[in-house]
């Protein structure tokens, strides 16, 4: 079946008007002002037509965590995010016991082949447990450790074709060897929850790591030692030109002014918007928990964000992808074309997805239609409306 979308403002590398978008066999078939044959007509009514959103860092939503156990919680959380425009998602784990982490990888592997109408799940994103205790934030310190070769090698073998990315702290003993092993296995390394200095970041960078997880959250910044200034992870991310960064653009983890600064310094080609959402995304405010229920960190959702019970740290966001775009556009005053790029094309490029994240002929027919307030009006997944 061929679908024709008309009367929309297409968001590609620029705003495009006066063009019809044709979808067929799960792909974008044509972008043209011509009237081609079609089976179904969709009128965008002057609203924006964008590639589907790509969230490369999410722990859950809709009352479920991706580590709760089994496939159903993964499906539950993923379906909630689909309603908010996310057509591709990478379920993310937390620092946990090894058996729980192992099971989560297997569960995500099963969900990748679910028959339900879910966002595309290309694989799993492992966040930890090889982190700095000082920068653990809402990660459970009980499970934080140096990289353990026996464990990560077993997981890499078990999770072959499932694990697509793994975050760690460069200063932990054995991190260079771990990074090399990730690259050898085709897994994208990321820096997270780290107290590393520039020299340690640069060493990991030279061994294939070009991604910093949720910039400014859970990471070192410049300090003085004996009068000398030492760069941390934040400054390293700016200094190393090829380093890509994540932004939790909910307006709370990072205020609009900081979103503007990161945008001006790194540019939309090096920034991925991520929700870093936990189970409370899409749910009412009140008590909640972060992580698998048996090992969860209790938290509370208030004021549009999740916090630890003592309010000393955030416990992940409750954002959805549309909120990220809205915040960047309305509060940080970033051009909408670039807001969308940071939620689509750039994360696709970071994760090596060749046929998604762009409005181009031959790309996946994953489409979002939204209004000026970035309110989702239509989500199309593989050429079909959800």
Q: What is the pTM of this model?
A: 0.97
Asked whether 372 and 78 are in contact (CB, 8 A), the reply is no
Residues composing the chain: 386
Task: Give the residues of the chain that fall short of pLDDT 70.
Answer: none
Contacts of 244 (CB under 8 A, 6+ apart): 210, 211, 212, 266, 270, 271, 272, 346, 350
Q: Which helix (H) or strand (E) holds 55?
A: strand 53-58
Q: Which DSSP string corresponds to 178-223? A: HHHHHHHTTPEEEE-SB---HHHHHHHHHTT--EESSTTSSB---E
Strands 223-225 and 271-273 turn out to be unpaired
Instruction: Compute the CA torsion angle 345, 346, 351, 357 (nearest 10 deg).
Output: -10
Asked whether 285 and 272 are in contact (CB, 8 A), the reply is no
CATH, domain range 53-355: 3.20.20.140
CA dist list (Å): 361 to 51, 109, 263, 329, 330: 12, 30, 28, 27, 30
- Per-domain residue ranges for the chain? 2-49+368-385, 53-355
- CA torsion sign for 297, 299, 301, 307 is negative
CA dist list (Å): 377 to 91, 93, 213, 385: 25, 30, 30, 11
Q: Please tell me the CATH superfamily of domain 2-49+368-385, with its number.
A: Urease, subunit C, domain 1 (2.30.40.10)
The partner residues of 15 in beta bridges, in order of sequence, read 11
Exposed / middle / buried, residue 264 (Cβ in 10 Å: 0-12, 13-18, 19+): exposed
Instruction: For residue 275, give the DSSP letter.
Output: -
Tokens 């969709």 appear where?
A: 42
d(CA 69, CA 49): 36
Residue among 288, 273, 280, 284 nearest 338 (CA): 273
d(CA 104, CA 91): 10
Strand order in the sheet with 297-302: 286-290, 297-302, 305-308
Residue 81: what pLDDT?
98
- From first CA to last CA, the distance across the chain in angstroms is 15
Backbone angles phi, psi at 254, to 5 degrees: -130, 125
């Amino acid at each position: 079946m061929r679908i024709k979308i008309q009367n929309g403002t297409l968001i590609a590398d620029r705003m495009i008007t006066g063009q019809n978008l044709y979808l067929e066999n799960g792909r974008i078939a044509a972008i043209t002002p011509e009237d081609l044959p079609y089976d179904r007509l969709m009128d965008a009514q002057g609203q924006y037509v964008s590639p589907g959103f790509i969230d490369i860092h999410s722990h859950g939503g809709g009352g479920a965590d991706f580590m709760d156990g089994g496939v159903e919680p993964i499906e539950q959380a993923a379906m909630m995010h689909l309603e908010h425009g996310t057509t591709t998602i990478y379920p993310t784990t937390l620092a946990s016991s090894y058996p729980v982490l192992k099971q989560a990888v297997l569960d995500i592997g099963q969900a990748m082949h679910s028959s339900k109408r879910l966002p595309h799940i290309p694989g799993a994103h492992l966040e930890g447990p090889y982190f700095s205790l000082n920068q653990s934030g809402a990660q459970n310190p009980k499970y934080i450790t140096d990289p353990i070769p026996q464990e990560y090698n077993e997981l890499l073998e078990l999770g072959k074709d499932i694990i697509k990315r793994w975050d760690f702290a460069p200063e932990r003993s054995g991190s260079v060897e771990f990074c090399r092993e990730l690259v050898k296995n085709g897994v994208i390394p990321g820096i997270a929850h780290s107290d590393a200095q520039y020299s340690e970041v640069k060493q990991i960078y030279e061994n294939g790591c070009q991604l910093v997880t949720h910039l400014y959250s859970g990471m070192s910044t410049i300090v003085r030692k004996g009068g000398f200034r030492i760069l941390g992870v934040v400054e390293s991310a700016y200094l190393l030109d090829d380093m890509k960064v994540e932004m939790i653009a909910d307006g709370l983890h990072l205020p609009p002014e900081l979103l503007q600064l990161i945008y001006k310094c790194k540019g939309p080609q090096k920034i991925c918007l991520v929700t870093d959402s936990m189970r409370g995304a899409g749910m009412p405010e009140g008590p909640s928990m972060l992580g698998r229920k048996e090992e969860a960190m209790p938290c509370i959702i208030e004021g549009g964000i999740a916090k630890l019970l003592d309010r000393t740290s955030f416990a992940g966001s409750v954002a959805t992808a549309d909120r990220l775009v809205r915040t960047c556009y309305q509060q940080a005053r970033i051009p909408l074309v670039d807001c969308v790029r940071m939620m689509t094309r750039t994360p696709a490029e970071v994760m090596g997805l060749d046929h998604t994240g762009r409005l181009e002929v031959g790309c996946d027919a994953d489409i979002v239609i939204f209004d000026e307030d970035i309110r989702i009006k239509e989500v199309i997944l593989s050429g079909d409306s959800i």
